[in-house]
Amino acid sequence: MLQRWFNIRALVSLTVLASISVMLVTSILMFVYSHNVAVATLHTVIGFCLLLAACWHLKNNFTPLKGYLRLRFWGNKSRYKMTLPIAVGFIALLTAMSWFGVQPIKQFYQWGMTMRASDLAGSKHELRYIVLDKTLDAPSVNQLTVEFKAGRAFQWPQYAIWLETLEGDFVQPIYVTEKLATNNFENRVSQRDKEYVFTENPFDREGFTIEQAFELVVEPETRKTRFRVESLPVFLHKMMVIGEKENQPFEGKLIADAYTGATMMDNFVYRVGVDETLTGRYKLKLEMNQSFDFNHYYSSDRFPNDAVYSGEGFSAQPSVIYETEIDFDKPAVLSQMALVGRGHHSGKNGLVHSDLSGMTTALQLVDRVLVQVE
């Protein structure tokens, strides 16, 4: 019945032709212009379509293909003679030249890179950075420069940067936001509708105002009551153990002014001196957390029996931890921090949990962090 409407061989051949035509265009676009998700997706999808159609085409033409694969150099049946060796040799030559970067293949590839770089330079957005230099306040032999580029989910996080040994022993803070340093989370809110379940960041909704879902707590939880360990549990557990303040009321400053400041709400470059003259390798860590970033897994009702998570902290997705190794014997070496895990969702411990399942926008708070010893 279907043969009355179309021919399968013709359908396969035309599909191959159409797929090759689309891939030709997308290949040129990917060669000339900087990476575009839509073009790359189209190229990949049509590529798989071409692969399936090509397999079907080979099935329909298997008999003549077997003839092409026969190496018969003599006699009446030597119709194709050197066709197969020439085809295989040509592809092998191109593969080897591309793999080892032989001219003119290398020059052709560099030409494409030049065009893509020109396109990227013409379309890139302007980046703005806050520059904070504290090296003048406390001159030091060892100095660190941290360049932070915010991710697309970055809004109002709390964060801490600190230095520790390779074994995990705390050395000193590098930068801590003021609220963390003073344990001062006095601007608390209470949810109006206690039955409503948050499965997303409400502040991502267009036109949303805080008054629609929350009201300001008249008598906020004071810093004398407890540490807000759910904010940055890895850093605060480490600090509380060192300061012997765990589970004790606290009022005052946890961190010296030289290493604290307001939350920088944009990309920043931060320079600071190290207290002691250090040699060898150390770890630099960053912990960051953003309130209200609920999702379908870390919804507001995920842990109903956890008084901290289900309280009025609205911590939502737990903190994320980045780290890198730096070597004070090798200044001017630029290193990039890598995501290594998350903190506990309600701050019950200071462990770095490697399981990131259920995390979504919290993984988009940071675009990159570069560190340099000076």
Instruction: Report CA torsion sign: 79, 82, 83, 88.
Output: positive
Same domain, 20 and 61: yes
Band (pLDDT 50/70/90 cuts) for residue 323 is very high
Same domain, 202 and 301: yes
- What's the token pair of residue 133? 């230099």
Same domain, 89 and 152: no
- Amino acid identity for residue 260 in this structure: T
Which of 122, 139, 167 is the endpoint of a domain?
A: 122
Domain residues for the domain of 45 are 2-122
- DSSP letter at 155? S
Higher pLDDT, 266 or 337: 337
The pLDDT value given to residue 188:
65
CB atoms within 10 A of CB 26: 21
- What's the token pair of residue 291? 């309130």
- Amino acid identity for residue 370 in this structure: L
Same domain, 69 and 216: no
What percent of the chain has pLDDT above 70?
Answer: 74
Q: Which residue has the tokens 């949303």?
A: 208
Higher pLDDT, 292 or 58: 292
Domains held by the chain: number: 2
The pLDDT value given to residue 249:
45
The pLDDT value given to residue 6:
61
Residue 117 has pLDDT above 70, yes or no: no
Which of 92, 122, 152 is the endpoint of a domain?
A: 122
pLDDT digits (tens, 9 = 90+) for 347-356: 889 999 999 9
Which of 101, 122, 143 is the endpoint of a domain?
A: 122
The pLDDT value given to residue 247:
45
Closest CA to 186 of 218, 215, 210: 218
- Amino acid identity for residue 7 in this structure: N
The pLDDT value given to residue 97:
79
What percent of the chain has pLDDT above 90?
Answer: 26
The pLDDT value given to residue 220:
47
pLDDT mean across residues, the chain = 79
Same domain, 252 and 151: yes
Same domain, 19 and 62: yes
**What does pTM read for this prediction?**
0.64
Q: State the average pLDDT over residues 265-270.
A: 90
The pLDDT value given to residue 326:
94
pLDDT digits (tens, 9 = 90+) for 230-241: 889 999 888 775
Residue 244 has pLDDT above 50, yes or no: no
Same domain, 196 and 225: yes
pLDDT digits (tens, 9 = 90+) for 128-147: 888 888 876 666 678 899 99
The pLDDT value given to residue 342:
96
Band (pLDDT 50/70/90 cuts) for residue 206 is confident
The pLDDT value given to residue 61:
74
Residue 167 has pLDDT above 70, yes or no: yes
Same domain, 17 and 144: no
The pLDDT value given to residue 201:
84
Least confident of 15-29, 159-173, 199-213: 199-213
Least confident of 24-28, 239-243, 313-317, 369-373: 239-243
CB atoms within 10 A of CB 322: 22
Band (pLDDT 50/70/90 cuts) for residue 243 is very low
Residue 125 has pLDDT above 80, yes or no: no
Same domain, 156 and 187: yes
Measured distance CA(78)–CA(83) in Å, rounded: 10
Same domain, 86 and 220: no
Residue 148 has pLDDT above 90, yes or no: yes
The pLDDT value given to residue 189:
67
Same domain, 50 and 190: no
pLDDT digits (tens, 9 = 90+) for 279-313: 899 999 999 999 889 999 999 889 888 888 876 66
Using only C-alpha atoms, the chain has a radius of gyration, in whole angstroms, of 30
Same domain, 38 and 153: no
Q: State the average pLDDT over residues 38-52.
A: 83
User: Which strand (E) or helix (H) includes residue 284?
Assistant: strand 281-289
